[in-house]
Structures are given as structure tokens and as C-alpha cells.
Amino acid sequence: MKPFISPQDHARALAESLDIPQQQPSFALPIPEVGICGKTVWVRLPEGLIPFTARLEVNLAAQVRGIHMSRMEEVVADLYEQEFADLREYGLQLGREMMARQGASTGRVRLTGKLPLIRTARVSGRQSVDSIAVSLDLKLAGQGEELQSQAMLGVGVAHITACPCTQAYNQTLFRKEDDGCPLPTHSQRSQTTLLLQSAGLSPTIAELLACLEDALHVTQDLLKRADEAQLVYLSHSLPQFAEDAVREVARRAGERFGRALPPETLVVIESLSLESIHLHDVCCRLETTLAEIITL
């Protein structure tokens, strides 16, 4: 099929037409963040070629009517074949280049996705191919060597919580002396996320994951009967509210990062409990700093 418009006509139109995004707007008001969202970007990490959902934004000066969306897409395409040591490295390069091509002084890169996680069951030793939720919110300001960045990296896991209230009530009703087995209670499938934000040195995904694993009864897909029994027993031996889950993750974050990161490092922990015997769910969120955690 022959092209309807000749290359010569395209060249003439490009040479003669106005660059509309670069024209003066009808109302000269600066916009702090404008860009593209709902974009799938493929990032080559040590774990493989991983898809992330991206929201990419730059600031728009008062005298400029709009961004060039195609230039955003060009940056994504140019980075497709490159390999990156971690997600933050990808975000930095993506943000730096999109700001340069748009002539922007600030930029923001937000990425959400999942990474594979191979877990080994406690009893059977069977390996389960699972996943963890990963997010990056990277803010950039400046240009060239003066470019400054602030990154919030987040990791989320699925885990089981057992309600301490019903268990304590059952203990009053049914406890037999010298019976070490925890009494029944209702249990929930939960999701807890740990996010840390700091300028400069940042934690790794593995370090954030370790905090969650130390604090929670993390679940996995492939469990044999003995593994299931062990996980249920542990979660009932150390039952947790959503509030307990958040506080324990904060404690572990303080122990792991309290001396390694600046005291003003922002810590955000969010937990969602999908209640089994209620129609509602339970949510809990903590926003604090490392300084506030380590002083307790």
C-alpha cells in the first residue's frame, strides 16, 4: 500500500507549520506537573525484563502551552534495550532525559509493578514462585550536574494475621492447663507496604523486604500440608492486629536503617486486612520519621 501523503509533503509541512506546544497559552499560568500516565514501561533489571505502570511528569512554564508527549515516549523507547542495576537507577535516567527534552526544571517519575520472589517453604523445602509489589516515586529538580533527587521506594507483601481478641476470649472459655497449643481465632489475608523516602542514599528492595519478613507472617503460593500447618501455627502463636503489623514493621525499619540513613528519613507503612468474618476491611497507615522511631 502506497502512502497517501508523500515524504516531500510531510517535510514541507514540518518546515512550515507552527510548533503548537511551544506557543504562548491563552492564560499564562505555570503548571507544576503535566505528563503521561497509564503507560507500561519495560525495565531490564537483574530479575529480568519487568513491566511497570508509569506516571511521568514535568513542570510547564507559564509561557509554554504544552508538553511534547512524543518526547516522553522517545525516552522510554531509548531506554528499552539498556540494563539497570536497580529501579532507582532507571528512574533517574528516565527523569533526567525527559526533563532535558522538555526543557523542564522539575520532574517526577512514578513506577508501580511487581518483581518475582522465590520463596522456600519452612517444612517441605519446596520453592514457590511468588511476587512482591514494588513502587518508586522519584522527584527531580535542577539540571545537569546540579540535578537533585528524592526517592521514595516501596515494597509490599501478602501475609496472614490472626485476631488476638477472639483468641483471648477463647482462652478464657476453653483453656486447659498445660495446653501449649494456641486457641482458634479468625485469620485474615493482609497486604502491608513499607516505603522509605530520603535524598541521596536509599535502601534496597531486599532491605525493605527483610524488614517486612522479620515483622510479619509472610505467605506464599506453594505450600504443602506441613507448611500450611506451620504457618497457621506461627500466626496464631503471635497474633496481630493490622495496627500490630504496622508497628512491628516500623520497629524493624528503625533497627535496620536507624544508623544507616538520615534521621529525617520519611517512613510510611500501610496495611490492609481483608477481614474474614466482617463485611468491612481494616486499614492502617503510619507516616513518621526514623528519628521518631528510634527514640522510642
Q: Is residue 10 included in any domain, yes or no?
A: no
Band of pLDDT at residue 202, cut at 50, 70 and 90: confident
Q: Is residue 51 included in any domain, yes or no?
A: yes
Query: Percentage of the chain with pLDDT > 90?
Result: 86
Q: Please report, as a single letter, which amino acid is at residue 147.
A: L
**Nearest one of 271, 34, 17, 83 to 160, comparing CA atoms:** 271
254 with 288: CB under 8 angstroms? no
Q: Is residue 245 included in any domain, yes or no?
A: yes
Q: How confident is the model over 17-40, as pLDDT tens digits?
A: 998 899 999 999 999 999 999 999
Q: Is residue 2 included in any domain, yes or no?
A: no
Q: Is residue 150 included in any domain, yes or no?
A: yes
Q: How confident is the model over 122-151, as pLDDT tens digits?
A: 999 999 999 999 999 999 999 877 899 999
Which residues contact residue 176 at a Cβ distance below 8 angstroms, ignoring those fewer than 6 apart?
none
How far is CA 151 from each of CA 5, 113, 181, 238, rounded to the nearest angstrom? 46, 16, 45, 34
Q: Is residue 3 included in any domain, yes or no?
A: no
Does the structure show a pLDDT above 90 at 177?
no
Band of pLDDT at residue 1, cut at 50, 70 and 90: low
Q: Is residue 6 included in any domain, yes or no?
A: no
115 with 132: CB under 8 angstroms? yes
Please give the grid coordinates belonging to residue 188: 485474615
φ, ψ dihedrals at 165, nearest 5°: -65, -55
Q: DSSP string of 106-157?
A: EEEEEEEEEEEEEEE-TTT--EEEEEEEEEEEEEEES-GGG-EEEEEEEEEE
Q: Which domain holds residue 245?
A: 22-294
- CATH number, domain of 271, equals 3.10.270.10
Number of domains in the chain: 1
Q: Is residue 205 included in any domain, yes or no?
A: yes
**Nearest one of 188, 192, 184, 168 to 248, comparing CA atoms:** 192
Please give the grid coordinates belonging to residue 245: 503489623
User: What is the pTM (predicted TM-score) of this model?
Assistant: 0.93
Band of pLDDT at residue 222, cut at 50, 70 and 90: very high
φ, ψ dihedrals at 46, nearest 5°: -55, -25
